[in-house]
Structure 1
Amino acid sequence: MPLLVFLLVLGACGGSGSGGGIGGSGVVSSGTIDGFGSIFVNGVQFDTTGATIEIDGAPAREAQLGLGMVVTVFGTINADGVTGTADRVLFDDDLEGPLDAIEVSRDGDSALLTILGKEVIVERTGTVFDAVDFTALAVGDVLEISGFFNDARQLRATRVQKLGDFVPGVTEVEVKGNVGNLTMTTFDLDGIAVNYANADLTNVPGARLVEGQFVETRGVLVGRDLQASRVELEDGISDRTREGDVVSVQGTVTDFTAPAGFNIRGVTVDATGAVVSPPDFRLDNGVIVEVRGIIRGGVLVATEVAVRRGRIEVDAVLAEVDTANRRVVLRLPGGTVSVNLNARTQLEDDAGNPDPLRLADLRVGDFLQVEAIRSGGALVATRIDRGEPGDYVVQAPVDEFVEGASLTVLGIRFSAADGDFADRADEDVTAAQFYAALRVGDLVRIGDGRSPDGIADEVEFESPTDLDGGAEFEGEVDERDERDAPETR
């Protein structure tokens, strides 16, 4: 089988004035950088030895790419379907600017950030952090964000990098949005007043802006207004595909009405005949998936839909590493949990060791935070973080329970007669109230402290679909506006 021309458009798709359309049929796929050696994107390992790499339109090296970045790769894929060669790799962030406000979730596992009027959801373990960590985020940090937008135009961050501290009138910022209230020298960009009188419009067709255009604007803040130095038209994935292209897109499901009609990052999808993995997975708005198929009449006719984020979690010490079979075993007081890895598993090191982290780098005794899905009766890791020792946690569907006494999840029994209990609204309840609402199959989170003994310290219900921060932050903009606002810069 010959090499297939392979175009992977990942993340913000466009920017840097790269223009639309591709010559001939190809493959278009969307997702994050999940590993290195050279780079892993959507389950394919791309050799970048001879590749041209660009970051925000400037020449760069592979070493400047980072885990969780949403990139664009042009290249070829081999007959095995899991290796390939990159000819060109592009990265363009989704947002860059000062952190104006932080609202931490009730359970402390996520936070809502406000940057240039945009809302960004970050997760303690589901977001890659560089030069800052979840607990160190502070108002005034200048952050570069990469991620996926939801229906409410909130950005769920896959990567957050701190670039420095904000200096008014000096620090450059970058924001994307639709041009509104256009005049000869100003426009509104989703609530931000922009003066573009002296901006470079080279990458705008005819160097003339048009009402409603989706653009990327770079400049400095003077008060709350943006003095633009550059404005350029942004391309979407749909701008880079043609009839018959094979497409694989990773992102947040939006505009969902039925499998026959939903959207992922500007691409209309028909998944009526698609194979769904895992088979019991239910498509809905807000879930992050990877869709593969062919463009027909401007629609991505999907052949496969696979979930890319898991709701099962195990935070525990590593008992065994099987590099040959790509498997790890975690130890808990009541037994062990085996988890498989695949080419899409994202490995991150939060323990202060040099990146990139590989399976062979893990050692028995390491403390891991594992996010996984259940597929074919086995657990498959979507991401693994190695960090400093912390609380032992298991989040999984309930196998069985003895009311008022114990819970069994992932085959491990926890004594749960006392401790702290919370309901589906994350409100404190008694043990009796919790068990009265509990059913086999409910997703629960069990905390067993830093010195685990098999006796649950905390037990709470979790959403089977909402990622961390989803139920609390996603899509509730108007409701939050009515609450007391968090402190701002």
Structure 2
Amino acid sequence: MKRHIRNRVIGLAAGTVAFGVISACGGGGSGGGLDVADGGIRGTGSSVGPVSGFGSVFVNGVRFDTRDLNGAVESNDGIDAETQLSEGMILRVDGEWSDNGEGVAESLEYDDTFRGAVSDVTLSQNNEQVTFTIYGQELFATTQTVFRGTTLANLTNDDFVRVSAYRGPDGLYRASFVGTATRNESDIELEVDLSNAEFDAGNNQILSNGFTITYADNVFANGLTEADLEAGGFFEIEGELMVPNEINAISIDRDDFRRYQQGEGDDIELTGTVQTRYVADGGNPRPGELTLAGLTIRIVNETELDDGLTLDSLQPGLLIQVEGKFIGDSVVEAEEIELREPDSKVKGSIDVNSVDPSSRRFEVGGVKIQVTPLTTLTRDDDGEIDFAQLTAFGTKVEVEGIERGAPDSIYVQALKVEVESEEDDASSFELEGRLRFISLNPSANGLSILGITMSDLGADYDGDNESTARQEIVDAFEGPEPVFLEVEYFNTSSGFVADEVELESEDDD
């Protein structure tokens, strides 16, 4: 078993919100709002993040009522109606929202980050990440990515797709959504880093990642000029593929960071990847700042860091959600920062007797799962579901989320729940999570992880030296850093029994 959660934040403590405080509507369904401790800011402005559900539109944990829009979406990428949106698409919502998780949308705006043919597809050994390029630009997708028309494991060279993505600090793009689209190479889209490209203003040409991009003088959008290109940075190119490796630009605009710009209101909630790490202003830990999505995020004494986040853990590439106010054109003072990376995973069959529609809870292999408006519910056979349909298409699921709760009431707040079409042994499970207890020697209560205790009397411990692998875990557990394990286990008449155990590894991409 080789499994791995990308960008794990080592050192995060589980949240202390008790299981059951989260209630009301989960992602993918209609109904009321969310009351999760400090879930959601009160404000008027913009919310930018991945769609997690419908029944109106869920973005960043808020259910935005869209009835006044009559389903309209602002886009020049063929997404004109709310019904054409999908979970995972990064959407900008302008409107108002309150602290009960309810909001009213005044506009919805969507823009593809990339649209075109895929190449250089490489699947990781653990089948949990795929890298690929679109017109020379490298992207990657993980098990958190929502796929439509294909899957992470089945993405194939020359697939024509639309991608909604976050740009990482290294210039790589992390896909939030990948969906197949009707092939139209006269309507492609890409982003180009002109700081690492050859720019020939005299011949109206850009040479980037092996592609020659030509443009006319009248293609610049939103006040851009050729001088802006000469200054470097990332830009959006829409155009047509003329011949292999030659693109005719029809429009050149600023990159997708423009979706995070301030609108009419001062408030903003946004999800994105950290671009530059947090740096304090002076000798004290706060105040200080980091950058995200082209914005400077100010962290002050009053800023709440949730999910066990620390200032040191706010490192480049980390996916977070920020809630705050604009205090300048591109400066946001953060009120609250939450983690959007999973630190836990469980895979197996749902205990159908545990499904509680009123609280949006269920159990898998003894692990308690909480669905919230931040949760994306999907099917691996390219379908969308809501909580009421959770077991209608099968009971086997894969859940990624964040461990929360007190030591005696641990649960996983789901970020993504994927219902799988193939049914396996209903008593067999896999999990990844933080080790909470390990006995000095194998015992009937040898392991505690994600809120369940299991026997490891007959378990196989994998490692470089299998004879010492268990002791290495015991020694690591006694150290200062959290220990994360991958466990395959069974549900038996005498309780949960570990079959295979290993330290979660970072080297199996």
- Which of residues 459, 462, 482 in structure 1 aligns to 2:504? 462
Q: Which residue does 1:443 correspond to in 2? A: 484
Helix, strand or coil: the match of 2:88? coil
Question: What does residue range 397-412 of structure 1 map to in structure 2 within 5 Å?
Answer: 397-402=434-439, 405=442, 406-410=446-450, 411-412=452-453
Cα deviation for residue 40 of structure 1 reads: 0.2
Q: Which residue does 1:228 correspond to in 2? A: 249
Between the aligned partners of 1:131 and 1:238, the Cα distance in structure 2 is 26
- Which of residues 129, 142, 155 in structure 2 aligns to 1:137? 155
- 2:189 alignment partner AA: E
Contact 2:323 2:336 in 1 (8 A): yes
Pick closer, same or farther for the CA change 1:104–1:222 going to 2, 3 Å.
same
Q: Which residue does 2:387 correspond to in 1? A: 359
1:327 aligns with 2:384: no
- Which of residues 237, 241, 255 in structure 2 aligns to 1:217? 237
Between the aligned partners of 1:295 and 1:471, the Cα distance in structure 2 is 40
Pick closer, same or farther for the CA change 1:408–1:376 going to 2, 3 Å.
closer
Of the structure 1 ranges 104-113 and 273-282, higher mean CA displacement relative to structure 2 is found in 273-282
Cα deviation for residue 68 of structure 1 reads: 0.1
- 2:373 alignment partner AA: A
Q: Which residue does 2:191 correspond to in 1? A: 176
Pick closer, same or farther for the CA change 1:186–1:419 going to 2, 3 Å.
farther
Q: Which residue does 1:84 correspond to in 2? A: 103
- 1:299 alignment partner AA: V
Between the aligned partners of 2:465 and 2:172, the Cα distance in structure 1 is 31
Cα deviation for residue 112 of structure 1 reads: 1.6
Percent identical across equivalent pairs?
Answer: 22
Cα deviation for residue 414 of structure 1 reads: 4.5
Q: Which residue does 1:98 correspond to in 2? A: 117
Question: What does residue range 358-437 of structure 1 map to in structure 2 within 5 Å?
Answer: 358-363=386-391, 366-377=395-406, 378-379=410-411, 380-388=413-421, 389=423, 392-402=429-439, 405=442, 406-410=446-450, 411-415=452-456, 417-419=458-460, 421-422=462-463, 428-433=464-469, 435-437=471-473
Helix, strand or coil: the match of 1:236? helix
Cα deviation for residue 59 of structure 1 reads: 6.3
Cα deviation for residue 191 of structure 1 reads: 2.6
- 1:408 alignment partner AA: S
- 1:135 alignment partner AA: A
Question: What does residue range 228-247 of structure 1 map to in structure 2 within 5 Å?
Answer: 228-234=249-255, 236-237=257-258, 240-241=261-262, 245-247=266-268
Q: Which residue does 1:4 correspond to in 2? A: none
Contact 1:368 1:387 in 2 (8 A): yes
Q: Deviations over 1:206-245 (max 9, x none)?
A: 7646312642212205222323233234463487327981
Q: Deviations over 1:337-389 (max 9, x none)?
A: 2122222122112256x42x211212397112111212342421122111123
Cα deviation for residue 256 of structure 1 reads: 0.2
Between the aligned partners of 2:431 and 2:92, the Cα distance in structure 1 is 35
Cα deviation for residue 404 of structure 1 reads: 6.4
Contact 1:199 1:230 in 2 (8 A): no
Helix, strand or coil: the match of 1:460? strand
Question: What does residue range 1-16 of structure 1 map to in structure 2 within 5 Å?
Answer: none
Helix, strand or coil: the match of 1:63? helix
Between the aligned partners of 1:416 and 1:255, the Cα distance in structure 2 is 46
1:161 aligns with 2:179: yes
Between the aligned partners of 1:362 and 1:239, the Cα distance in structure 2 is 33
What is the total number of aligned residue pairs between the two structures?
Answer: 427
Q: Deviations over 1:106-138 (max 9, x none)?
A: 322112222222221212x31111011122111
Helix, strand or coil: the match of 2:388? helix
Helix, strand or coil: the match of 1:374? strand
Question: What does residue range 231-270 of structure 1 map to in structure 2 within 5 Å?
Answer: 231-234=252-255, 236-237=257-258, 240-241=261-262, 245-258=266-279, 260-270=288-298
Q: Which residue does 2:299 correspond to in 1? A: 271
Q: Which residue does 1:112 correspond to in 2? A: 131
Between the aligned partners of 2:491 and 2:135, the Cα distance in structure 1 is 38
1:312 aligns with 2:344: yes
Between the aligned partners of 2:246 and 2:174, the Cα distance in structure 1 is 25
Structure 1: which 4+ aligned runs deviate by more than 6 Å?
A: 449-453, 470-473
Superposition TM-score, scaled by structure 2 size: 0.75
Structure 2 unaligned residues grouped into runs of 5+: 1-42, 281-287
Contact 1:248 1:293 in 2 (8 A): yes
Cα deviation for residue 196 of structure 1 reads: 2.5
Superposition TM-score, scaled by structure 1 size: 0.78
- Please give the root-mean-square deviation of Cα atoms over the aligned residues, in Å: 3.1
Contact 1:192 1:226 in 2 (8 A): no
Of the structure 1 ranges 57-66 and 127-136, higher mean CA displacement relative to structure 2 is found in 57-66
Instruction: Tell me which of the two structures has the higher relative contact order, counting C-alpha pairs closer than 8 angstroms and 6 or more residues apart.
Output: 2
